[in-house]
Amino acid sequence: MAYLIGIDSSTTATKALLIDGKGRIVAVAATEYEFQTPRPLWSEQDPALWWSGAVASIRQVLAASGIDPAAVAGVGLTGQMHGLVLVDAAGQVLRPSILWNDQRTASQCDEIRARLGKAELIRITGNDALTGFTAPKILWVQENEPEIYARIHKILLPKDYVRYRLTGDFATDRAGAGGTLLVELATRDWSPGVVQALGIRPEWLPPTHEGTQITGVVSATAAEATGLRAGTPVVGGGGDQAAQATGVGAVEEGIVALTLGTSGVVFASVDKPFYEAEGRLHAFPHSLPGKWHLMGVMLSAAGSLRWYRDTLAPGVAYDDLLAPAAAIPPGSDGLFFLPYLTGERTPHPDPLARGAFVGLTVRHGQPHMTRAVLEGVAFGLRDSFELMKSAGLSAIRQVRVSGGGAASPLWRQILADVLDSELVTVNTSEGAALGAALLAGVGAGIWPDGETACRETVRVTGSTLPEATASAVYEKSYRLYRALYPALRGVFSELI
């Protein structure tokens, strides 16, 4: 039997996932590491950590499974998006990677809008300039570290540095490249106009590939380091959210992936280039050929619940914390929670937004506050659904939920009621790494396309249907929730 490996290089760990040719998980390993915040708003990481993490995790899954490395038919890559990796002509990293959650580039985002015009930028790329994207990071290095900028040979994304170490080749996938703000949405390739306007040399950008295309093979040096067979194909893969969507089977219009992790992501696959006119949603190529996606991101989803638990109920198990909240009626008796604990991205791209409890009275107890946190996150996620609908997205027939927060039946029911849509769970929690492995399977010829791979391996395991009475209550509560950020925005800007 053929086997496949998916490698996911995230902000906190690099994971390797080994599956067989039926999509069944054989072994999983993760190697953890830290990132640095050397100055306010900065977030950086040494790319060597991703490679050493990949080496350790690959060796662990090969050892745990006991398979012959020659049976690995392909390797797929995924990982954190938007991070800037600069290498010189010798392939050496020039500086620590500037990560997706780095916030130093507000002035560079303004400069990008000034050079291209906001409307034209969105028309070409599908996106507005945001501090998380790669392009403003490039301009920051140009302005602040000219000696490093002068030595650039290639600009890579985090997973593509792992690709380089695996294969010796410079390449990227089109889903991940979309998150640089340098890709033309319609053509799925680098935009000559944007690249020229920003003064970036075209030769610095690696060739782009579809997520299922082979971009190189494991080199002899990498084979010795990882235990893989030299010559093993490595495919394009995808950014973590595109791979996550593949891993849960969100590859058809009408099926939406909702990831309830530290951050919250709403991901909708579309069959043509599609964007929201104001750039309030991300619009990127999908990891599957001929598909694109819209994506809304809230920065503190399950992270809000973790903050709440750690701050107001330290040491209490989540199940014990949430159980009393089930007895509180929908709407938490008029108590609201704004989940903007780390600023916000969708629909309010505002790093100064703040969290808040609104409506507290003496009749509210901790169970009310707990439920309000769950409901506030659900309302924040609904913001992305509403933007997608207003942009003209076709009807949503199913929402596939994953991530740590999805383990709570109460939270799943609240989400189903707030969204007034069926929520389903699937047969794996290893979405991004599994998606990368499935993409590798298409590249290796095990499945003819990504849609077939998902149909044959991803299965629905549970369903949560909305309750009409609760949905009606939440419809009114959501209207009130949406009024809170505009009312408080001026106050937030003064809370420095």
Secondary structure (DSSP) of 277-329 = TTS-SEEEE-SSTT-EEEEEEES-SHHHHHHHHHHHSTT--HHHHHGGGGGSP
- Per the residue annotation, which of 240, 310, 333, 383 is the catalytic one? 240
Q: How many Å separate Cα 396 from the centre of its chain?
A: 20
Is 322 within 8 Å of 370 (Cβ atoms)?
A: yes
CA distance 349 to 454: 33
Angle at which helix 450-457 crosses helix 240-247, to 10 degrees, equals: 50
Nearest to 273 by CA among 130, 391, 400: 391
Buried b (16+ CB within 10 A) or exposed e, 268-301: bbbeeebbbeebbbbbbbbbbbebbbbbbbbbbb
| 3-state DSSP helix/strand/coil % of the chain, to nearest 5 | 40, 20, 35
Residue 169 falls in the annotated catalytic set: no
Nearest to 457 by CA among 478, 483, 439: 439
CA distance 70 to 272: 38
End-to-end alpha carbon distance in the chain: 59
Query: Amino acid identity of 234?
Result: V
The helix (H) or strand (E) run that includes residue 403 is none
Instruction: Enter the tokens of residue 381.
Output: 């996620």
CB atoms within 10 A of CB 409: 13
Query: Amino acid identity of 130?
Result: L
Length of the chain counted residue by residue: 496
Instruction: Enter the tokens of residue 493.
Output: 């800007």
What pairs with residue 166 in β-bridges? Answer: none
Q: Where are the beta strands (DSSP E) in 403-491?
A: 423-426, 460-464
Q: Which residues contact 271 (CB under 8 A, 6 or more apart)?
A: 253, 290, 291, 292
User: Among all residues, which ones are annotated catalytic?
Assistant: 240
